[in-house]
Amino acid sequence: MATRHDTAAPPLKEGGAAPGRPPADAVPEADKRRRARLSRRWQRDMRWSPYAFVSPFFLLFLAFGLFPLIYTGWASLHTVEMTAPTDMEWAGLRNYTRIFDDDFFWNAAKNTLTIGIISTVPQLLMAMGIAHILNYKLRGSTFYRVMMLAPYATSIAAASLVFVLLFGRDYGMINWALNAVGFDNIDWQNDKWASQIAVSSIVIWRWTGYNALIYLAAMQAIPQDLYESAALDGANRWRQFIHVTLPSLRPTILFTVVVSTIGASQLFGEPLLFDANKGTSGGSQHQFQTLGLYLYEQGWVNQHLGRASAIAWTMFLILIVIGIVNYVISRRLRASS
């Protein structure tokens, strides 16, 4: 039964959006009780319904977010293999202490950082440039905007496979082009920096358009009169970009940096598919093995569930640290503006 707002009295003391109205005189006793009952129901409705409405997310989060998190934490304290996940043997913090002198983990962490930097920085700079150009009056601008999103919509597997062919050492198109202008073949898969650049290029190709569209949306929200007054003051396009566009985009830039950082720290599909051996070691010498890939290798290929869980939790803690650093920087920036 619907709550009858018009008869619901008396007005609430706390919360509630009921308009205050004077209590009506001479209300029969029975009617009063009925109104009180309705009012109680209404109060309950007001208080609890929102929780019901948001509950689906939290229930799903409990089932697919919190529970796995806790279970992984529990598993990380045990020696447990995927072949018998119920067969757990208490190991204490061994899985964590081991990480400290696990060369492969730190190698993966370093790779994740370097690949993250050489993919995120150029990506965001390019996205900014593209957004700036798209912000001009262009013929067919919708077409260009849709095209920007095409890489993002492409399946990562398909894209990576094409990139593997492009970056092939002997028959790849990129080396063929390099040869044509007089360079030697580059072993894109086995050379450390070359392979990291190649993996980054897949990331850049995929996400630049996405970030460009975010920047574009923010740019279009900048009031036109700011530019007009800047133009009146004699600022050229470039100065307008520096002094009007960039400051207005600050929160957006921060957002894309945070999202890209999280994305980079979880990088997995691109290096997995880029591996010539289709293995999980990120190249013969682990030259582009990221943390995500290392976690997958330990858990799913080697079936060490306990170790993989410890790696997952360590990654989680690292992400939290990155999050805090981001937060501090963003507060500083906001305070300075």
Partner 1 sequence: MRARTRIARKTMVLAAVAALGSGLLAGCADDGDDGGDGSSSGDTSGKTTITLGLFGTQGFKEAGLYAEYEKLNPDIKIAENVVERNENYYPALVNHLTTNSGLQDIQAVEVGNIAEVVNTQAAKLTDLSKVEGVQSSNWLDWKWKQATTKDGQTIGLGTDVGPMAICYRKDLFEQAGLPSEREEVSKLWAGSWEKFVEVGKDYQGKAPKGTTFLDSPGGLLNAIVSGESEKFYDASGEVIYKTNPAIKKAFDLTAQAAEDGLIGNQTQFQPAWDTTIANGKFAAMSCPPWMLGYIKGKSKPEAAGKWDVATSPKPGNWGGTFLAVPKSGKNADEAAKLAAWLTAPEQQAKLFAKQGSFPSAPAAYTMPQVTGAKNDMTGDSPIGTIFADAAKQIPAQVIGPKDQIIQQGLTDNGVILVTQGKSAEEAWETATKTIDNNLEK
Residues that bind partner 1 (CB under 8 A): 79, 81-86, 102-104, 164-165, 168-171, 187, 190, 276-279, 281, 284-286, 297-298, 300-304, 306-307
Rounded CA-CA distance 69/183 in Å is 50
Cβ closest to partner 1, residue 105 vs residue 215: 105
Least separation in angstroms between residue 301's CB and partner 1 is 7
Least separation in angstroms between residue 259's CB and partner 1 is 29
Question: Are the C-beta atoms of 111 and 293 separated by less than 8 Å?
Answer: no
Helix (H, G, I), strand (E, B) or coil at 304: strand
Tokens of 84: 């018998």
User: Any bridge partners for residue 79, and if so which?
Assistant: 89
Least separation in angstroms between residue 82's CB and partner 1 is 6
Rounded CA-CA distance 90/97 in Å is 14
Place of tokens 């574009």: 216
Least separation in angstroms between residue 277's CB and partner 1 is 4
Question: Are the C-beta atoms of 293 and 272 separated by less than 8 Å?
Answer: yes
Cβ closest to partner 1, residue 102 vs residue 270: 102
| Preceding omega of 50 cis (within 30 degrees of 0) | no
Cβ closest to partner 1, residue 265 vs residue 289: 289
Least separation in angstroms between residue 79's CB and partner 1 is 5
- The DSSP element (H or E) to which 199 belongs, if any, is helix 192-220
Question: Are the C-beta atoms of 161 and 274 separated by less than 8 Å?
Answer: no
Cβ closest to partner 1, residue 97 vs residue 277: 277
110 φ, ψ to 5°? -65, -45
Cβ closest to partner 1, residue 116 vs residue 282: 282
81 φ, ψ to 5°? -110, 150
Cβ closest to partner 1, residue 96 vs residue 227: 96
Least separation in angstroms between residue 302's CB and partner 1 is 5
